[in-house]
Amino acid sequence: MYDLFFRQVFRRMDPEQAHHLAVRWIRLVARVPVLRTFVAAFLAPRAKELRTEAFGLRLHSPFGLAAGFDKNAVAIDGMAMLGFDHVEIGTVTGQAQPGNPKKRLFRLVADRALINRMGFNNDGSLAVAARLASREPVFRTVVGVNIGKTKVVPEADAVADYVTSAERLAPHADYLVVNVSSPNTPGLRNLQATEALRPLLTAVREAADRVAPARRVPLLVKIAPDLADADVDAVADLAVELGLDGIIATNTTIAREGLGLRSAPDLVGEAGGLSGAPLKARSLEVLRRLYARVGDRVTLVGVGGVEDAEDAWQRILAGATLVQGYSAFIYQGPFWGRAIHKGLVARLRTSPYATLADAVGADVRNTVNGTDSGNTTVGRAGAAG
């Protein structure tokens, strides 16, 4: 049903206009008490097998919404209603900014992918903090806050800019994410180098502790899939050294070659970060590498190319405690979360693992130990690489 609606309505619209229309509809439904309860009961089923603990937080399931969809914290309850058991808002910057000129969002329908060069368009950390402070939650969901660098701020002043956002937003965040991996803010990815990343993460950690002394706000970093393997290892080692709570792997990619893209060359050639199905293989590879390096010392969040329950399950086996998605939601619609939840329950029940926690990283551990994971769902037909 949604596929027909997408082809007849959303596909004919500008992608950014369609996004804003969808957000308005979701927010409207979430404002109607009886209606939102009915929708959540159907689209956000709860299964005790999927209960997850991460960063000391308890979640209904490991599945959540990646940053980028709800940049300004306006649709948290609506997305929880649709089955996202944690919602990561942002990216939020120290100053409000309009982002890059339009047109800046493109659908690669043939590849089940998106290209965006949004440029961190958002209301700014002051406005978003006020919105979070005044929020009266309808559904219990974990809210992550993803922060990035304001475009006009020089790279030399980036730490102070991140600290400003952290000071404003940490008191309202269940966890805080330092985004140094978007390709759409000039110079941002330079901050992934450990010599730049160490002082940045240290300063943000100190800022969060200063403004939220009553609790330790979990701190994560989000990295790009385009990092060389040695740099992935360096970030992993730095996370352990600094006592970081988590790493999110991965953001969008600037790569185009070797991904088997079928969309028109002029569309593929648009500047920006590519997300969706073509990112699947590299994102999973980075996740496996991180888990092999950090094990259970750092919580990993898998994102990038997650389309269905099998993809989510593979992320868990590769070391992810939490799994996020975004691009596939555009193509699969409001029933997507329900399908992920039901599919994960089915896979867990037929696996050799008693709990999801037991399954986290099992493929990596078993590879190291030279044993079979017992996963009977590997090799699904139609999986994108």
Active-site residue set: 182
Q: How far from chain centre, in Å, is Cα 379?
A: 25
Judge whether 272 is annotated as a binding position.
no
Kindly state the tokens that stand for 207.
């800022």
Judge whether 250 is annotated as a binding position.
yes
**Parallel, antiparallel, or unpaired for β 113-116 and 273-276?**
antiparallel
Judge whether 117 is annotated as a binding position.
yes
Number of alpha carbons in the 13 Å side-chain half-sphere of residue 27: 13
Judge whether 222 is annotated as a binding position.
yes
The rounded distance, in Å, linking the Cα atoms of 292 and 302 is 14
Judge whether 91 is annotated as a binding position.
yes
Residues 6+ apart with CB under 8 A from 42: 338
Provide the 10 A C-beta neighbour count for residue 336. Answer: 22
**Parallel, antiparallel, or unpaired for β 52-54 and 57-59?**
antiparallel
Return the SS3 of 55. coil
Judge whether 148 is annotated as a binding position.
no
**Residues 141 and 301: beta-carbon distance below 8 Å:** no
Judge whether 6 is annotated as a binding position.
no
**Residues 117 and 144: beta-carbon distance below 8 Å:** no
Judge whether 337 is annotated as a binding position.
no
Judge whether 194 is annotated as a binding position.
no
Provide the 10 A C-beta neighbour count for residue 224. Answer: 27
Judge whether 263 is annotated as a binding position.
no
Judge whether 251 is annotated as a binding position.
yes
The rounded distance, in Å, linking the Cα atoms of 332 and 319 is 25
**Residues 92 and 148: beta-carbon distance below 8 Å:** yes
Judge whether 146 is annotated as a binding position.
yes
Kindly state the tokens that stand for 370.
């030279």
Provide the annotated binding site.
67-71, 91, 116-120, 146, 179, 184, 222, 250-252, 276, 305, 326-327
- Residues placed in the known binding site for substrate: 71, 116-120, 179, 184, 251-252
Q: Which residues are annotated as a binding site for FMN?
A: 67-71, 91, 146, 179, 222, 250, 276, 305, 326-327
